[in-house]
Structure formats: C-alpha cells, structure tokens
Amino acid sequence: MTINNSTAKKLKDDFPIFKNNKNLVYLDNAATTQKPKVVIEKIKEFYENSNANASRGIYSLAEKATEEYEKARKIAADFIDASSEEIIFTKNATDSINSIAYSLESAIPNGRDEILLTEMEHHSNLIPWQQLAKRKNMKLRFIKIKSDFTLDMEDAKSKITEKTAIVSFVHVSNALGTLNDAKAIANLAKTKNAFSIIDATQSVPHMKVDVKNIDCDFLVFSSHKMLGPAGIGILYGKKELLEKIPPFSFGGGMIKSVSYENAEFAELPEKFEAGTQNIADASALGEAIRYLEKIGIENISSWEKQLLGYALEKLKKMKGVEIYNPGIENSSGIISFNIKGIHPHDAASLFDSFGIAVRAGHHCCMPLMKKLGLQGTIRISFYLYNAFEDIDKLIEAIKKIKEKFGK
Ligand SMILES: Cc1ncc(COP(=O)(O)O)c(C=O)c1O
C-alpha cells in the first residue's frame, strides 16, 4: 500500500489514541510510537484465550501459549532476514545491549583492548560499554562526526584496527536523524576480526534492515518504537556466535540438565532466555510487525522521506531556526532544531499548549550535545500516520512561539 497524505490521515483511524485525543499532533515517534487497535487487542486476546507459561507445560493451553510466542519470534526473524534461533527476546534495546556487553566479555581475545563507538551514541549504547571497559581495563574510542552531522568514514577506517575488539554503533541517530552506512562499518569491523553490534532501534521500525546483507554480528531494537508494546525487545546474534558465547542470565527455562553443582545450557534461543518471558507482549510485537508488513516497510520509508523533505524545506525558510540534520539523503525521519534565543524546554511546553507533542532536551545523548555546544534541541520524528498537516501545524506554532518571545 503506497502511502500518500490522504492514506496517512486515514491510517490514524487504526490508532485509538487519535480517536481519544482528537487534535493530537504526535511528532515524538522516536521516543515511542502509538499502538494500532490490532496490537492492543492482541494482548487482550492472548490473556483471554492462550495464557499459560510458554516452553514449559505439556498441556494444550501451554502449547498454545508456546505457539504464540514462537510465532512472534519467527515473524521478527523474517522481518530482518534472520532465523528464529538467532532472535532472543529481551526487555528492550537497552537490555539487549547490556546483555551482549556481558556475554562478549569472555570472548574478547587477548591483545584487543579497544571498544569503538561513535560520537552520536544514545546513552544505551554508551554506558554498557563504559562499564565493560572499566571491568576489563579497555579503552573507549569514538568515530567522529563531521560538521554536516554525518559520520566521518575516514576516521572510522583509521580507528578500526587489530586492537579493536568491538565496534558498536547506531544505525540511525535518535538525536540527529543521521543514517549511518551500517554495511560499510560492519564490513570494516569484519576485516579486522572485531565484533560488530548495531543499535538499530531507530532504523528497524522505519526501513528495510536485512542482517544477512549488512552482515553484522549482533543487532538490537525495541518493540515500543515500532507500534508494539513496551517491555519487549530483540537481540539478534549470528547463530555461530550465539552458540559460542556464554549466556548472561541464568535460571529456569535455559537449561538442558542441572545437578547441584553444575548446569548444561539449552540450545538457542532458550539458552539466552532465563525465567518466564513476556509472552503476551512478544505476540503483540508479532502483530505489530504484521501490521507494518501489510503496509510495507519500504512504503513507510518513502512516505517518511516525503514528510522529512516537506518539513526540512519549511523549517529552512524560517528565520532564527537552526537545524541539526544531515539532509534528506543522509537522514531518516527525525529532525532536531532550535529556535534562536528560546530554550528547547520552553518551546516544548508551548508546543504542548497547541496540542503538538515534540521531544526537547538532550535525547539521551549528553556527550553529543556537549560536543555540538548545545543545551539540547527540539526534536520532531515521524511515522506512517503523520501527514503534511501535522507539519503545517508545527510551523504555525513556531511562528506563534517566536512572536510570544519577540523573536
Ligand atoms: C538510538 C537509540 N538507541 C537505544 C535506545 C533505547 O531504547 P529503549 O529505551 O527502548 O531500550 C533508544 C531510545 O530512544 C534510541 O533512540
């Protein structure tokens, strides 16, 4: 289904939040997305019809719950071109990165003491590595960003060396919208035998991401940013690597056999899923992905590009608006900007008074903001249900905010 302005507006009908908040202009999709009725109903339906603990009981209801859970895993696997055993359910992207930072600890070869990140990482892809660096006495290095807000690939080439153990990088920056060349960076890591980890939290919901084509070792994302419920996330890992590295969480559900002294771990993916899992939300994530697939992820990407182009053009024409975005070719549907002389928090409260939800602040990227010399930014981020009118209302609101501040 191709999306245009009228179909985008029609899509809002699938989302009860827009019925219950008639004039809502929701431009904070990078923080979390709204949920379609089919996803909300899936959670209810699971608890009403299929609820039991998955992967344990041998009675029919337990088998039904297991079936729902594994069906969702297969849907998520197909969505990124992985196999089911390569998909580990976690709490969210943050949990996925923390988990892999623990599991990889024992797999780091001697003599490799550098972890390479970029200067545009979300705190969730920074602090877990800071902690690993402290535990293992390793050095953190950062690929620089250029003045046009793109990543400096020459710097990436020079910093990925025989000393690099891990290259972990954001695919789409939540603060700048920058779309990084995941395949090229993963390939640089591969040529130096370093592990590659992709924070795909802002890319998987918005564009076709194919782990086989990118050829990364690990990749993470969150359900709540792709129409699914909060509390469930994905850790993808290449099968041969997941088989080699130890699990990071231990207990029920992840074992083959146990003695008082020892335990043998289960096969993939159970090896990495200790304890009772978030079965209902996993199945609702499956439903969210089905909804996205019905519309077509490429159609969503191309609609967001149109929204991005429309918004950038309008914002660029406004005096006193400073934009921090690498341009339509290098960006996903996220724009950060400031209105000269107005604190982003003050602007955000005024946007709220016009019914417009935007994010303001450091966007969990404090080091990046400091590097750019900014207190924070105002951020707008699009999804399939946004329409040109949402952007028009934002532009009108900026005019009124400027007037109010005498700018
Ligand atoms: C780029 C990026 N990485 C990681 C995260 C963390 O996601 P979650 O809070 O779902 O774990 C976010 C959330 O905003 C993000 O934008």
115-155 per-position pLDDT tens digit: 999 999 999 999 999 999 999 999 999 999 999 999 999 99
Alpha helices, DSSP H only, in 80-199? 93-103, 127-136, 153-159, 182-191
Q: Which atom of ligand 1 is nearest to the CA of 170?
A: 1
**Mutate which of 174, 221, 366 to test ligand 1's pocket (most atoms within 8 Å of Cβ)?**
174
Q: What is the pTM of this model?
A: 0.98
- Distance (Å, whole) CA 166 – CA 121: 14
Domains present along the chain, CATH in parentheses:
5-32+296-401 (3.90.1150.10), 40-293 (3.40.640.10)
Query: What's the chain's average pLDDT?
Result: 97
The CA distances from residue 221 to 78, 94, 232, in Å, are 15, 8, 9
- Cα 12 to averaged position of ligand 1 atoms, centre (Å): 24
Active site annotation includes 216? no
Confidence of residue 58 (pLDDT cuts 50, 70, 90): confident
Confidence of residue 56 (pLDDT cuts 50, 70, 90): confident
Which of 241, 240, 207 is closest to 80 using CA atoms? 207
Q: How far apart are the first and last CA of the chain?
A: 43
- Distance (Å, whole) CA 108 – CA 127: 18
| pLDDT confidence of residue 181 | 98
- Determine the average pLDDT of the residues in 154-183: 98
Spell out the residues 6+ positions from residue 205 whose beta carbon is closer than 8 angstroms to its own.
33, 221, 225, 226, 227, 292, 383
Say if ligand 1 is within 6 A of residue 33 CB.
Answer: no
**Mutate which of 218, 221, 222, 227 to test ligand 1's pocket (most atoms within 8 Å of Cβ)?**
222
